[in-house]
């Protein structure tokens, strides 16, 4: 399917729901979902969860966009820095955060008479290290973009082509602090202030300041925006005044809009392509086996699980495939890269990941 066909599939899914509550941040995914739900004549209740550690302007933008789209909007407020697992910044921080968020959203939605809850998770999210995705399954949150196999780049492309405004700063600021370093309100406020300063100094839409051991590392959507002596000096001086010991610039050009399958993940067999996709997390073999066997998927057969060794053998689209505990998905017999992608997107939603302690 092309992007427009996937968008139409999302609309068909939404028409089946009729009355839905939407986890709404104002970012690309939730904004497009709100827009499509409104177009599908759904009764939509957008619910924004404010954990007190989002970038400045986050809440105001969410209020404005829901009003402009013409959907009902409610806000849940909580302070996640009062939660030990979040403040202590353990590897499970995002899992705990999402559990609290989805739990509260589901409770409010049900109180308002909305039994179906949807979120903007898309198929690309399933290949990134986002442990909070597990809470989507626990709370039975529906994800129309995953069901329609929509990728991040397609969502951004559609938003741009249709001139639909969304916020590019909706990531929790606790994610800027290195894992296992305590998150405090002073750190959050400092990061928020410095990111705003860098945005104004460079004209960048997206700025992320990563903090580790009191060292600030700057990331920008367009690195060329910062290469000016006066800009660099003003940013350096301001961040030094904010008491950072050192200021670094991350020149990594990778982004979340990349291909689901890279050319380097494909190798040529006798008369087919072999896909070996390595995910940035481990796979819970027992939970994945449970999902595969509890549901009747027409495209999957002959599931054989060896939990002691740590892999699942199965047939996907009539192709011999394996899922390994270490995070590798292997699919043989692909005729092309597109064919490999088509099979991969069917498997990804069925995988249950592990979470580091």
User: Residue 330 pairs with which residues in a beta bridge?
Assistant: 276, 322
Residues 6 or more apart in contact with residue 175 via CB below 8 angstroms: 94
Cβ(157)–Cβ(167) below 8 Å: no
Cβ(337)–Cβ(113) below 8 Å: no
Task: Give the tens place of pLDDT for each residue, 321-344.
Answer: 999 999 999 999 999 999 999 999
Cβ(323)–Cβ(288) below 8 Å: yes
**Arithmetic mean of pLDDT, 53-58:** 88
> Is residue 257 classed as helix, strand or coil in its secondary structure?
coil
Q: Is the pLDDT of residue 312 over 90?
A: yes
Sign, CA torsion 193/196/200/204: positive
Sign, CA torsion 313/317/320/322: negative
Q: Is the pLDDT of residue 115 over 80?
A: yes
**Arithmetic mean of pLDDT, 305-315:** 95
Sign, CA torsion 89/84/139/326: positive
Identify the pLDDT of residue 92.
Answer: 84
Burial class (CB in 10 A: 0-12, 13-18, 19+), 85: middle
Distance of CA 208 to the CA centre of its chain: 16
Residues 6 or more apart in contact with residue 118 via CB below 8 angstroms: 14, 17, 20, 21, 22, 23, 33, 37, 141, 142, 143, 144
Identify the pLDDT of residue 257.
Answer: 66
Q: Is the pLDDT of residue 113 over 90?
A: yes
Report how many helices (DSSP H) and strands (DSSP E) the chain contains, helices first: 12, 13
Cβ(75)–Cβ(59) below 8 Å: yes
Q: Is the pLDDT of residue 271 over 70?
A: yes
Instruction: Determine the Cα–Cα distance for residues 186 and 211; give it in Å rounded to an integer.
Output: 12
Cβ(59)–Cβ(50) below 8 Å: yes
Identify the pLDDT of residue 146.
Answer: 97
What phi, psi does 64 have (nearest 5°)? Answer: -65, -45
Instruction: Determine the Cα–Cα distance for residues 265 and 124; give it in Å rounded to an integer.
Output: 16
Helical (H) or strand (E) element with 105:
helix 93-111
Task: Give the tens place of pLDDT for each residue, 226-267.
Answer: 999 999 999 999 999 999 999 999 987 666 667 899 999 999
Q: Is the pLDDT of residue 274 over 90?
A: yes
Identify the pLDDT of residue 82.
Answer: 85
For helices 152-161 and 28-39, the axis angle rounded to 10 degrees is: 60
User: Residue 146 pairs with which residues in a beta bridge?
Assistant: none
Identify the pLDDT of residue 79.
Answer: 87
**What contacts 24+ positions apart, CB below 8 Å, involve 303-311?**
310/285, 311/285
Identify the pLDDT of residue 88.
Answer: 86
**Arithmetic mean of pLDDT, 217-231:** 91
- Taking only Cα atoms into account, the Rg of the chain, rounded to an integer number of angstroms, comes to 21
Q: Is the pLDDT of residue 13 over 80?
A: yes
Mean pLDDT of the chain: 93
Instruction: Determine the Cα–Cα distance for residues 167 and 160; give it in Å rounded to an integer.
Output: 12
Cβ(340)–Cβ(331) below 8 Å: yes
Q: Is the pLDDT of residue 176 over 70?
A: yes
Tokens of 174: 């606790």
Percentage, residues of the chain above pLDDT 70: 98
Specify the range with the lowest mean pLDDT, choosing from 106-115, 138-147, 254-263. 254-263
**Arithmetic mean of pLDDT, 88-103:** 88
Strand order across the beta sheet in which 72-77 lies:
72-77, 43-50, 19-23, 116-118
Identify the pLDDT of residue 256.
Answer: 63
Helical (H) or strand (E) element with 178:
none
């Amino acid at each position: 399917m092309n992007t427009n066909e996937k968008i139409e599939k999302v609309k068909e899914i939404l028409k089946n729901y009729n009355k839905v509550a939407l986890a709404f941040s104002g970012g690309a995914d939730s904004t497009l979902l709100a827009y499509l739900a409104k177009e599908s004549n759904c009764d939509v209740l957008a619910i924004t969860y404010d954990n007190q550690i989002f970038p400045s302007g986050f809440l105001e933008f969410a209020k404005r966009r829901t009003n402009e789209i013409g959907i009902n909007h409610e806000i849940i407020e909580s302070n996640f820095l009062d939660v030990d697992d979040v403040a202590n910044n353990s590897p499970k921080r995002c899992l705990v955060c999402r559990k609290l968020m989805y739990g509260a959203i589901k409770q409010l939605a049900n109180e308002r008479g909305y039994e179906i809850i949807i979120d903007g998770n898309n198929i690309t999210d399933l290949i990134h290290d986002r442990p909070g995705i597990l809470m989507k399954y626990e709370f039975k949150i529906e994800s129309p973009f995953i069901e329609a196999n929509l990728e991040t780049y397609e969502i951004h492309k559609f938003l741009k082509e249709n001139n639909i405004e969304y916020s590019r700063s909706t990531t929790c600021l606790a994610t800027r602090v290195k894992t296992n370093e305590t998150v405090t309100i002073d750190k959050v406020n400092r990061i928020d202030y410095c990111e705003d300063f860098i945005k104004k100094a460079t004209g960048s839409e997206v700025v992320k300041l990563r903090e580790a051991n009191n060292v600030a590392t700057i990331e920008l959507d367009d690195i060329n925006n910062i290469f000016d002596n006066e800009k660099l000096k003003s940013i350096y001086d301001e961040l030094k005044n904010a008491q950072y010991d050192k200021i670094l610039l991350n020149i990594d050009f990778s982004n979340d809009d990349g291909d689901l399958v890279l050319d380097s993940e494909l190798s040529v067999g006798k008369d087919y392509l072999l896909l070996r996709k390595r995910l940035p997390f481990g796979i819970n073999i027992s939970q994945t086996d449970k999902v595969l066997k509890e549901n009747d998927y027409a495209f999957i057969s002959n599931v054989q699980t060896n939990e002691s060794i740590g892999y699942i053998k199965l047939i996907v689209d009539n192709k011999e495939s394996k899922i390994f505990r270490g995070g590798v998905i292997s699919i043989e017999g692909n005729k092309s890269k597109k064919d490999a992608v088509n099979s991969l997107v069917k498997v990804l939603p069925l995988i249950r990941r592990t979470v580091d302690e």
